[in-house]
Amino acid sequence: MRFIILSLGALIVGTAACVSGISGSNAAVSDGADPSATPRRTKAVREITYTDAEFDGKEVLMTDAEWKKILTPVEYTMMREAGTETPFSGAYFNNHEDGVYYCAACGLVLFRSENKFDSGTGWPSFYQPAFKKNVIEKVDRSLDEVRTEVLCARCHAHLGHVFDDGPQPTGLRYCINSPALRFKKAEAPE
């Protein structure tokens, strides 16, 4: 499947201060979750191929300069510098539509709406990925605690973290940043 995505590169008025001068896992930025808001500028249209299958082992390898050309500043901060969006600000934390969540950088399927739940944390939360092989988990010691970082298996984009306080059947809570995701709504049955 191929789709054309207009990558919104601008921060919504009032959020620019959240981004300037911060990066890394302690960074908090808003992704301008209000879809009706008007961005200040946009990046060029880019094509993303959405992949609905289990990761095939073929990685997307790009330099930081190449990622900066195609990702918005917020996406770059989240996915390449391990930033964190402000809780309750993201486009998908309160999304209850049926559909599929893909990596915003490379289009690999990551999560499905039937595995999403309201964790009360302010971030989109899932109790399991679409395919276990589509995410990588690694130890994150960037704060005073040890956490488990979640990355896209294909492009190694930072997605968020996974915790062991989720619902059954897995007991896991994948806490994911909205700017790291693209949502494709399920098509209505005919």
Residues identified as active-site: 175
3-state secondary structure of 61: coil
- Cα separation, 142 vs 22, whole angstroms: 15
- Number of Cβ within a 10 Å radius of residue 20: 9
- Number of Cβ within a 10 Å radius of residue 36: 4
The residues, any chain, with a CB within 8 Å of residue 147's CB and separated by 6 or more, are: 139, 140, 161, 163
